[in-house]
Amino acid sequence: MLLLQLVINGLQLGAIYALTAVGFSLIFGATKVFHVAHGAAFTIAAYLFWWTSAVLHMPWPVAALIAVLAAVLFGLFMERFVYRPIQRHEGAFFTVFIAAFGVQIIVQNLVGTIFGRGFVSVTTSLSRSVEVMPGLFVAPIAAISIVVAIIVFTVLTYYLTRTHTGMAMRALSENPDLIRVFGLDPARVAQYAFAIGSAIVVPGAIFTAMTAGLNPAVGAHVMLISLAATIVGGIGSLRGAACGGLLLGLAENLALWRLDPQWSEAVTFVVLFLFIIFRPAGFFGRPHGAK
């Protein structure tokens, strides 16, 4: 029964991780920007949701809308004012990475200064566990996060395979000129990728605020998870990032069967390391050499 409980908790956490990782992977796949400030978008969205709903007592749809707006604006801001100026003079991977890391540091500390460095969470009846079977406790939020994750992936897949801009987004990293032929502006498509990728982080941020709670350093953890899930799933594959996130969530919870909770990050790392050693291309990635 404990095992089943851990699997359910793992699926819930995995859904949140998958949502985060897919946003990162979408941005990376389309624009080749290693957007480690994705964790900052998560932090901003999660804290704004907490502040508007738990402190200002706004209704949750309003709070969620504000969180989405903030995340999207943050993504667009990063694309317009940080990544684009850097890529204009040199597109080196590390230059972009350092700038993104700098933003992550700024956001983490600003959030700590404004909202406090303590632990906060949004209390809701949704996160209260109900005993569905003897010894098995499930909160409605578990089902909600899994369903939301599935809906988001379905909509996203439809968008990427059936609409013009979606297809352009997939083509962007391969052949920007082709997008021009289609009558679309590559810079505009990159902005869409940042807007959508950042918006996808919001459900995960909200569910984390409702379940595990937040602190300003949550962005670093999100960053590790997004990177790990992207690599485990195969760089450039959205399906892979989603599966990678799910796998990490499950692994983290199943580890509790034998280990103390403080080792959960260690489990993420071990999974990541095993993949790097034995299957660097990930689940769905194409094998590649040294770039």
What would you report as the CA-atom Rg of the chain, rounded to the nearest whole angstrom? Answer: 19
Q: Which of residues 98-137 bind other proteins (CB under 8 A)?
A: 98-99, 101-106, 108-110, 112-113
Q: Which of 113, 41, 105, 32 is nearest to 77 (CA)?
A: 41
User: Which of 111, 108, 98, 105 lies closest to 35, judged by CA?
Assistant: 98
Residue from 18, 200, 235, 255 that binds other proteins (CB under 8 A)? 235
CB closer to other proteins out of 16 and 210: 16
Size of the site for other proteins (CB under 8 A): 49
Token pair for 272: 């990541």
Check residue 256 for interaction with other proteins (CB under 8 A): no
Q: Which stretch binds other proteins (CB under 8 A): 16-24, 67-75, 92-100, 146-154?
A: 92-100
| Alpha helix ranges (H) inside 51-185 | 60-77, 84-89, 93-115, 140-162, 164-172, 176-181
How far apart (Å, rounded) are the C-alpha atoms in residues 187 and 42?
24
For the chain, report the end-to-end CA distance as a whole number of angstroms: 46
Residues 60, 77, 137, 263: which binds other proteins (CB under 8 A)?
Answer: 263
Report the nearest approach of other proteins to the CB of residue 113 (Å): 5
Residues 6+ apart with CB under 8 A from 65: none
Residue 138-177 contact track with other proteins, rule CB under 8 A, x = bound: ----------------------------------------
- Residues in touch with other proteins (CB under 8 A): 34, 82, 85-86, 88-90, 92-99, 101-106, 108-110, 112-113, 220-221, 223-224, 227-228, 231, 235, 260, 262-263, 265-266, 268-269, 272-273, 276-277, 280, 288, 290-291
